[in-house]
Structure 1
């Protein structure tokens, strides 16, 4: 039986509002329409509410804001096995956190995580997955096909099976430095399909050549959410065609990344540029680069909310990656 939230959706679909806010997690979870709340780093509290997720990425900001997703109307939530979830107004948040020590390494852990998430979402009315985030430890460890990211890609493909036969959602995959080798996967889904967006400057990820692993990455560059002009942007870096650009040159990589972001906006028919209502997240490989990334983005994207976190990019030569949202 297909399950869904028992609330009436409005005639005009409205996407979740995403914001960075300095607020107590308990207070945020009490606000109307809160679909999910994310805390970053080892110092954040661990709560029992299924809408709360403590993310294994350290922030460079002190104090660190929370990321809050809100929808119109009431929200219900619960747990099914190892999946935590919440839904409201036709939108679904679902997440799973697995310890590799219990599941056999990055490949098997990814396969289990995706199989459980896909089984859960398939039974929901909100089964159109728009956006996925993947955080795993030591993403660049290992050589050749034994690299942990490539192993993760193989397990992800196995776990999802044919679930995304009609096309992949937008996604991010980043490495964390937490002591526990945990895989965290969370997603945003809807009861209506979105529209996938590719970047004409880049080869589509699922068409990458063999040098990037036995199993190509499986994601779209962005997704236009249902009902209004909101773009969910995948992790975007200095990749042109399928090759990394500007090795060891942080400023050049940042500049190339912004070109790719603007190209995505144009491909989606969105207005150029980002504004105060369009939060971004910057994943920075080296903590010593964080001040330079901060200054660069403040200068190039004045007023745009940017949360900078310590994260390893899926390719060793890439120093920074940016994802986020564009609200028209």
Structure 2
């Protein structure tokens, strides 16, 4: 039994959500624990670990030492590799990750297409075929003008690669720029044997309905996803977007406050309790390192006691300075 999971009251037959936490320890320690589905280290200082459940994320942390992110389930876990795709599963849950090199796939469009084709075919053949949450970390995400911006090209490749896999509705997702090698794309996901419930924000236009100014292919993601047992909300990357427009351009504090307002709206839409607590970990992606202390100060004031991992990441719109994502446990 994973510590804390016995407190969650799932409906009979529905899998308990993974317990996500941040922990100051060595990768080998948590990989040896029962129920470990995935472990994430952050930045160039994270070690190389030969285990399919381990991923070194190309996001540089602002704090040192940096905790690991740990996903644990209430079941035995098996893991393996399918070519260049790593995976693990247990308790009705699946972690899968792929890291294509754009140079081998003709650029960002081809790499995104390849990543999503591989994930679609692999996950589609599994019992855990309900994709609930995806993370996309993209090098130099805002480079390029107009439709040649790398994020817009990623969106085109993703749409081609996923085909009709999400015809019934998109998963929750994050797409953030990293400062590692530009050609290195990272995509990983959480899937389940059971479907979740998609949540939209009434303050925002759904991403797949964005107007043409945001690219030939609209982003495809839900604003959040309630996991099958209705005990956890998986929150997509959330920034200062109202309607479809970026708000408070150039004003860090106003953008962060707008982002927190959007998070509150998501919790209300999902019928989740207001606010966050010590069991609901978040990530803050900050574009400019000089802004990190102020972001940390505001979050400590507005979300006291909430674990927040501060990372140097570029939001998919160049005018946006900060983005939050994470988990809300009931």
TM range (shorter): over 0.9
TM-score w.r.t. the length of structure 2 is 0.96
For the residues of structure 1 that align with 2:89 and 2:14, how far apart are their CA atoms?
18
Q: Which residue does the alignment assign to 2:197?
A: 195
Supply the RMSD in Å over aligned alpha carbons.
1.0
Q: Report SS of the residue matched to 1:167.
A: coil
1:13-36 per-position Cα deviation (integer Å, ceiling 9, x unaligned): 210000010010011100110000
State which of 73, 82, 91 in structure 2 corresponds to 1:71.
73
Please give the per-residue CA displacement for 1:80-130, whole angstroms capped at 9, x wherever unaligned.
011100000000000000111111111110000000001000000000000
Task: State the secondary structure of the residue aligned to 1:323.
Answer: strand
On the 8 A contact 1:131/1:169 being kept in 2, the answer is: yes
Partner of 2:43: 41
Q: Residues 148-227 of structure 1 correspond to what in structure 2 (within 5 A)?
A: 148-227=150-229
Query: Which residue does the alignment assign to 1:82?
Result: 84
How many Å separate the matches in 1 of 2:276 and 2:218?
A: 30
Segments ≥4 residues shifted beyond 2 Å = 9-13
Which whole-Å CA distance do the structure 2 matches of 1:168 and 1:180 have between them? 27
The answer for the alignment partner of 2:116 in structure 1 is 114
Q: How many angstroms does 1:12 deviate by?
A: 4.9
Partners of 1:18 and 1:10 lie apart in 2 by 22
CA distance in 2, matches of 1:148, 1:154: 10
Match of 1:128 among 123, 127, 130: 130
Cα distance 1:151–1:60, how it changes in 2: closer, same or farther (>3 A)?
A: same
Aligned equivalents of 1:221, 1:45: Cα separation in 2: 32
CA distance 1:12–1:151, change in 2 (3 Å) = closer
Q: Residue 14 of structure 1 contacts residue 228 of structure 1 at CA under 8 Å; is this kept in 2?
A: no
Q: Per-residue displacement from partner, 1:207-231 (whole Å, max 9, x unpaired)?
A: 0000000000000000000013200
Residue 94 of structure 1 is matched in structure 2 by 96
Give the TM-score normalised by structure 1.
0.96
Task: Say if 1:50 and 1:84, in contact at 8 Å, map to a contact too.
Answer: yes
CA distance in 1, matches of 2:36, 2:217: 36
Does structure 2 retain, via aligned residues, the 8 Å contact 1:278–1:326? yes
Number of residue pairs aligned between Structure 1 and Structure 2: 320
Mapped to 2, the partners of 1:47 and 1:26 lie a distance apart of 8
> Could you list the per-position Cα deviations for residues 230-284 of structure 1 after superposition, in whole angstroms to 9, with x for gaps in the alignment?
0000000000000000001000000000000000000000000000000000000
Q: Which runs of 5+ in 2 are unaligned?
A: 1-10
Query: CA deviation digits over 1:36-80, x for unaligned, max 9?
Result: 000000111111100000000000010000000000010000000
Q: Residue 239 of structure 1 corresponds to which residue in structure 2?
A: 241
Tell me by how many angstroms 1:11 deviates: 3.6
Aligned equivalent of 2:255, options 231, 253, 270: 253
Distance 1:29 1:180 in 2: 29
How far apart, in 2, do the equivalents of 1:68 and 1:249 lie?
Answer: 33
